[in-house]
Structure 1
Amino acid sequence: MFLCLNEDEKLKMIPSCDDMRCVLSYIRMPIRVVLFLTLTGLCVADSTGNLALGAAVVQSSTIYGGEAQRAVDGNMDSNWYHAACTHTNAERDPWWRVDLGQVYRVTRVNILNRGDAVPERINGAQIRIGNSLKNNGNNNELAATVESIPAGVIKTFDFKSIKGRYVNIVIPRSYGYLTLCEVEVFAEKYTPTYVPRNLALGAAVVQSSTIYGGEAKRAVDGNMDSNWYNAACTHTDMERDPWWRVDLGEVYEVTRVNILNRGDAVPERINGAEIRIGNSLENNGNNNELAASVESIPAGVMKTFDFKSIKGRYVNIVIPGRYGYLTLCEVEVFAEKYTPTYVPRNLALGATAVQSSTWDAGEAQNAVDGTRDSNWYDVSCTHTDAERDPWWRVDLGEVYEVNRVSILNRGDAVPERINGAQIRIGNSLENNGNNNELAATVVSIPAGETKTFEFKPIKGRYVNIIIPGRNEYLTLCEVEVFADKVE
């Protein structure tokens, strides 16, 4: 049994809903009606919510840190220099795509244009909607064309309903940059068309190490490009037993995993990899049940591994018993059915985070990426500048009754910097959320240790950690948030 939030934020039961991605999307956005469709086992909704909020996104290229996710993070700041907007490279036909996860009758798209400069770059962009990923989705039906959008303005494009899972924004027949500060997608109603559900798409991922910018999340971004040089694939360092792991967020009866191998070179590196599935994080999940072994995958080919169903939340790909690199261009995970086994859910994992300032590579998102490394030099922790009242905030996307927060402190040096930090929870963004209710105060956390703070439930969407009253750095290696009632 699962819970969805209706428009009045009351909890409603949806019996036997197999589509957990659907349920999770409804937990984080307002819904007028939530129904259960007996014949298909899918959640059905007449939704006025923004379907793009927090959804999986990808774009043709990324420069200056302008990640595709910035356009679906709910941040309505139109100043590029505030790290609020996407940014492709200067290229032919630049594009951006959001995967709604299911097929909807899309009727409206809102685009917030860059406000600080060059608003004319959006001129001529097309909105395309459909179910095909041919030409990266840019061949789908044309919904609207952008003549222009004034600087810093959000413009609404209404059109006849178009059935589609993918919404693309592309500037065709032109060489230039594509920058989007926010994109919102609205639908007339859900269309119960069957779409195979890749449970890994956009899920939280981590790997044993990262070099050459080959981040773990590249394998769950929906990009089917197998050319490493197009920034499309993961890449670990040369090491013993390299591994990669996706957290499905819930326990499923997994029956199939697809792996897209690198296509431009060294396809033999994947040989001998193992797919392991289970609920344990012992040995980083690499001791879980063996589902399948990879003998080989031809260059640029996606290979399917079918096996008897294995219950698990974590899917690992590991190359055991030798030194080597692990590179994955895409991993897809499919399940027979959802198993309603309770697993405490970290609401902060993969959520949108922001902080008062950023020093070096200590981005706010580092604290919600699922990495348990407490060494700052492994680029696994956040880091503000030295400033008065430094703060960090995570947006849970919906209001929860939060009753527990865990903080992993820096382990390699200066653990005392966290002393005196406050955890504040609420729904207000006055003073950046730092005026919300005080949940707990951090006396101290030993170097490299995780400390859990339990307190009476506090209703809130925003969880802040702030060091009040002094000039200091704020560094967080991981923050986990749990609620009284989630499922």
Structure 2
Amino acid sequence: MNSKYYLIERWSILSVFFLAFTFSCHGLENVAWNMSTVQSSVQSPYGPDLAVDGNTNQRESNCARTRYGRVVWWRVDLGEIKEIYNIKVFYRNDSNNNDSLRMSEHAGFSLFISNTTKLKDGYRCYKNTDTFPPLLSKHACAQRGRYVTYYNERGDGVVVPLGSRRDTTIAELCEVQVFGTSVVEPANENICLHSIAFFSVVGVCVAILFISFGFNIFLFRKLKNTKILLEKAKSSKKKATVVKNYSQLNRSTDLPHEYSEMGPDNRPAPPPLPYSISNRISPQS
């Protein structure tokens, strides 16, 4: 193998390794999947676990549902403190005719992250106040915590978007995805952060560089093969021309056909003697 190609292929493998290392430091996953859940009330048989079963279909049968009330909530226990980055909420959405009703019931909700089951001990990372929220929404919530709570309420002094249902509300959560990672230990945190900073830049740049190199090599080989084919075709044409010229050179057009044969030494046979001279030569001579 050409040493140049060998070196490029080895560096390409290293660039993939750098990228894998970068993402392994902060690869996000749904840390709420199949975790323990609880909610303020249950509208049987739609228990709280339906919101963490991995099914994102937004039909009623796939959703965790509370009863109507002035205060409703749903909570997931992540099992340990996690580094949380964002939360995605799939609200019930199985009828286009009821979209406005669903959004009015969903409107005004909050998302809390805490280390205990008490909301007052937690951090509210999102609150819907101005417009009806979409029935599939994603919210940035950069916070550490063990519990994630969906909370909604109605009553005097509660701020909700204009047009929202005022008396009671309901939680109909088909899926709640919490994206985060395990908490990095302090001893390793700086190492990982520096690795992310360094390898994010180096890994991406090296990957782009060698993708470009790979493409250039592909084009180079294509052009090289094309050049070889053209040279072969040119050489064949040249050989054919030489053979043709040689044939024309050795063909005598001034002599009769019977005297244009080749001699024993591959040279044209000499022309015959004139008739008058040949008659004077005796056979004995």
Structure 1 or 2: more helix by fraction? 2
Q: Normalising TM by the smaller chain, what interval?
A: 0.3 to 0.5
Which entry has the higher C-alpha Rg, 1 or 2?
Answer: 2
**TM-score w.r.t. length of structure 1:** 0.28
Structure 1 or 2: more strand by fraction? 1
**TM-score w.r.t. length of structure 2:** 0.47
Indicate the structure whose relative CO is greater, using CA pairs within 8 Å and at least 6 residues apart: 2
